[in-house]
Structure 1
């Protein structure tokens, strides 16, 4: 078999891998079937593979002294999108972009590595569970298992994109409960008090960060409700904040507690994630940048206003890190989620090249 024929066969296998993975539903907390599918595929392609205690699909190839971890999530948000490949070669289905496409890119690239790369490094692919849930169960387990020299996080950036950072996160569950009273009388309702707290929080967020989207503090009301039973009024809100580098969730929490002042509001804080931004000149970013150019692309560095498992692993893994994967992240969580398989092919080839260059340095 010629090199060209070998590459074509590897890409056919890669397409079968992603079609199969997207075809297995895996809403957060229900990833067992897709984890088993991925572990089976890896075992059939020269990986040592298993499903770990957190439900992650884990596959390893290589025997060298370096450890490269490629961690991408295999869970999805809810939403049934019929899985199909259209006439233009576009795969439709939940998870095609966010983020089974990225993890399958990792697995297919590692499956196609040559002997020289496998002699130089151990490549560990981790298909993580519950990234779309606050628990991030899979990534939190993975950080206890490995001490990598280089890290790739599987998230869509486009085949020529390199993501260096994600904003932090804090979620505030605010509630007010007070005795019922006649609306014609003096005083404020539970909903009034909760609204006043939101106004204060929003005003603080508007001045607490910088002017660019990545530097700003973004605050949104994610849920809002109120009720009364004739004796007691109750109002509840969930407020989500996206935090820039330099503002920790703990510091933001302290500010938000102070804002309550004399309001009878109860605050519960969850979802603490620290913002992260990695070096664009790290050896991982450099290897990927060179590989993108070698395949005819112009590298584009990105930072994202959301969060990912990069936020989870960064405090534990002091290793050069990027996020990479094919697809348009604007399609994440939407009814139109889809991935051009030609772009997926190119991402597989770019990543195989980047991994080979990385461990050859």
Structure 2
């Protein structure tokens, strides 16, 4: 299935090459170079799109529609204590049929599997005397595990401004739960972080009339926020939840009324809300607390993405059918978990997540069985051929 113009790529070896680049966010350490070389050999036009200190890559092969995109990230989370690993976290050692290394699951293994799948598809079409009936593209960032400000978000904005069209996208996040292909993610909740500061006046606890204690004001405000039921859920989504993640006063003295109290909260929200709506609600609640107490309350917010849902339709069904054909199991369509870069890509096209079993992601001894990486390559090959077959 290979010829000089369409080399067939080994997904395990490409995964190992990527792992050996210690690309802890925001460092790249040559990971994008490894990927670009592989894609160039397959006939992709590769375009590096750096923003600030982040390396990004958009690569496309073909000029016709549909354009099926694969999205992912080469950056990884820190390793923790390297001494706690069975082997070096960036050595990419294979032991007893299992590949160890930071990024093996999340998500260098997924990237390599899709590249290898593309190589097999291209070789098959070439052998049959034809060409892929459409375009294939890659949208790869080095800023998914970090702030995600200068990665996929910026690339999507630039591509849309240029008029680039992506018809459907698979994100290679490790969506599988217990067995490869048992779950795909068709949506994610939004995420909003808020920082609250109540400004009081420091003083002696024996003379409260000379001070203004911010602690009870903060306590009452947080209680009101925590007690509020945001919603009862949304189609395919669990109810939104607000979690107080820290309360800080930093007062070591027993006889001192503090000058200020700080807190932080996170809201994971379904499509019943937008980040802007929730920010307006928090500001309103804080305004009421400020008016009642007379103390100044300051808020800062960061919404990393709104909720989204890819409705069941031809694309989702095609992927489910392809996974079932390759594995014998039909993946459940889920919206559970945290956020991913799919929240940005959904502005361009239908998007879902499909990848390896995620049991060891972000852990010491992150690992993926070699057989599972090979199996994912076949799953991806089925996805590509199924999506194109149904689009023509």
Question: Shorter-normalised TM-score: what interval?
Answer: 0.7 to 0.9
Which residue in the other structure is 2:224 paired with?
200
Classify 1:326/1:225 alpha carbon distance in 2 versus 1 (closer, same or farther; 3 Å).
same
Which residue in the other structure is 2:70 paired with?
70
Deviations 1:139-160 (A, max 9, x none): 1222231321111122111231
Deviations 1:75-133 (A, max 9, x none): 22222453344533222222222222222222222222233784311111121121223
Deviations 1:214-239 (A, max 9, x none): 32222233444334698962332221
Structure 2: gaps (5+ residues): 83-87, 291-295
Question: Is the aligned partner of 1:310 residue 2:342?
Answer: yes
The whole-number CA distance in structure 1 between the counterparts of 2:374 and 2:342 is 24
Which residue in the other structure is 1:258 paired with?
284
Check conservation: 2:213, 2:258, Cα contact below 8 A: no
Q: Give me the CA root mean square deviation.
A: 2.8
Among candidates 33, 38, 42, match of residue 35 of structure 2? 38
SS at match of 2:221: helix
More strand, by proportion: 1
Which residue in the other structure is 1:325 paired with?
355
Report the alpha carbon displacement of residue 69 of structure 1 after superposing the two structures with TM.
1.6
Report the alpha carbon displacement of residue 63 of structure 1 after superposing the two structures with TM.
4.5
Moved more, 228-237 or 117-126: 228-237
Classify 1:338/1:136 alpha carbon distance in 2 versus 1 (closer, same or farther; 3 Å).
farther
Deviations 1:159-208 (A, max 9, x none): 3122111001111011122221223444763344333332222112xx11
Which residue in the other structure is 2:147 paired with?
134
The whole-number CA distance in structure 2 between the counterparts of 1:2 and 1:104 is 17
Report the alpha carbon displacement of residue 211 of structure 1 after superposing the two structures with TM.
5.7
Question: Is the aligned partner of 1:221 residue 2:247?
Answer: no
The whole-number CA distance in structure 1 between the counterparts of 2:142 and 2:94 is 29
Check conservation: 1:292, 1:299, Cα contact below 8 A: yes
Moved more, 60-69 or 161-170: 60-69
TM-score normalised per structure 1: 0.86
How many residues are matched? 350
Which residue in the other structure is 1:6 paired with?
none
The whole-number CA distance in structure 2 between the counterparts of 1:348 and 1:31 is 24
TM-score normalised per structure 2: 0.80
Deviations 1:290-325 (A, max 9, x none): 2222223312222123111111222x21x3321111
Check conservation: 2:67, 2:136, Cα contact below 8 A: yes
Which residue in the other structure is 2:293 paired with?
none
Greater Rg over alpha carbons, structure: 2
Structure 1: gaps (5+ residues): 4-8
The whole-number CA distance in structure 2 between the counterparts of 1:10 and 1:2 is 6
